[in-house]
């Protein structure tokens, strides 16, 4: 079998490039391809043409110019396989993107069916708001709603929203209750988005399996300890603040 020419980088196949560059995106491979193309053009310019690089290169020996031409061919050979690797990585990324989009859509549907009914803004709609607060406290305690706060810190944060010092600083709100309702609804969105991202994560298992595992994690946590007395007191304070009577007084 004839030995392949030195300018043929057949050992650097697309599969080899994808293996050694497994953490590189199609865009990064495209950038490398562009750099090699520029390098090949610069080297080639030393071996031909009447421009300055060519005039400089004309003083090289025949063997030296041949070496540069071989280097150009070798780089172009590597680049050809790099192009195939880039295209394959691009197709894989496109498939992964579509797969992840489908998982997010399924996660959104499952979470909507499992947690927190849509909020209907009615004056007496107290229970849905308290359910949001209780769910947030529960999921935070189970380390599902990860918002940077420990259960104790998160409970204190919720309590702080009701403090006179906080409500005195409200500007642009028709009443404290309007601010409190807005706060709870923002919390609702945070909880739903957190759970959606958690179960949409692609670890090889289905979205439903990840939801089932998450629900089991919450059940295991609640089997050890339900909400603390302080958390129950926080819910009581919010219930009082959001009661129709308080809202009516706040809007006067």
Q: Which tokens sit at 78? A: 């590597």
Output the pLDDT for position 52: 92
Q: Residue 116, by phi and psi: left (phi above 0), alpha (psi -120 to 50) or beta?
A: left
Q: Which residues contact 217 (CB under 8 A, 6 or more apart)?
A: 142, 143, 144
Per DSSP, the residues of 121-136 read --TT-HHHHHHHHHHH
**CA distances from residue 234 to 126, 141, 169 in whole angstroms, order as listed:** 15, 14, 21
State the Cα torsion 110-112-116-117 to the nearest 10°. Answer: -140
Q: Minimal CA–CA distance to 243: which of 105, 6, 235?
A: 235
Output the pLDDT for position 126: 84
Output the pLDDT for position 234: 94
Output the pLDDT for position 251: 47
Q: Minimal CA–CA distance to 158: which of 173, 141, 180?
A: 180
Given a contact cutoff of 8 angstroms between Cβ atoms, the answer to whether 245 and 236 are in contact is: no
184 alpha carbon, distance to own chain's centre: 24
Instruction: Check: pTM over 0.75? Answer yes or no.
Output: no
Spatial distance between the Cα atoms of 238 and 236, rounded to a whole number of angstroms: 5
Orientation of helix 176-200 relative to helix 229-241, angle to 10°: 130
Spatial distance between the Cα atoms of 138 and 119, rounded to a whole number of angstroms: 19
Mean pLDDT by 10 residues, the chain (252 residues): 83 94 95 96 91 91 94 95 96 96 96 82 76 93 90 94 81 76 92 94 95 93 84 93 64 46
Q: Minimal CA–CA distance to 247: which of 161, 179, 165, 160?
A: 179
Beta strands in the chain (DSSP E): none
Per DSSP, the residues of 34-47 read HHHHHHHHHHHHTS
Cβ burial, residue 172 (10 Å; 0-12/13-18/19+): exposed
Spatial distance between the Cα atoms of 60 and 237, rounded to a whole number of angstroms: 87
**CA distances from residue 198 to 9, 60, 171 in whole angstroms, order as listed:** 44, 63, 35
């Amino acid at each position: 079998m004839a030995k392949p020419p030195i300018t043929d980088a057949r050992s650097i196949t697309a599969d080899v490039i994808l293996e050694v560059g497994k953490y590189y995106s199609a865009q990064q491979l495209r950038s490398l391809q562009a750099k090699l193309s520029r390098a090949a053009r610069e080297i080639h310019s030393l071996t031909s043409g009447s421009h300055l690089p060519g005039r400089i290169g004309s003083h090289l020996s025949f063997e030296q110019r041949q070496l540069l031409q071989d280097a150009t061919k070798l780089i172009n050979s590597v680049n050809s396989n790099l192009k195939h690797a880039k295209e394959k990585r691009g197709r894989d990324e496109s498939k992964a993107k579509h797969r992840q989009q489908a998982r997010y859509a399924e996660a959104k549907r499952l979470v909507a069916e499992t947690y927190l009914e849509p909020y209907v803004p009615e004056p007496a709609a107290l229970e849905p708001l308290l359910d949001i607060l209780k769910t947030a406290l529960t999921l935070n305690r189970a380390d599902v709603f990860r918002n940077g706060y420990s259960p104790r810190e998160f409970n204190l944060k919720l309590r702080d929203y009701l403090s006179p010092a906080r409500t005195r600083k409200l500007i642009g709100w028709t009443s404290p209750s309007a601010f409190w309702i807005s706060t709870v609804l923002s919390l609702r969105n945070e909880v739903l988005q957190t759970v959606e991202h958690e179960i949409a994560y692609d670890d090889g298992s289905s979205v439903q399996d990840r939801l089932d595992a998450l629900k089991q994690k919450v059940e295991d946590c609640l089997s050890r300890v339900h909400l603390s007395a302080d958390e129950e007191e926080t819910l009581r304070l919010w219930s009082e603040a959001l009661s129709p009577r308080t809202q009516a007084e706040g809007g006067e």
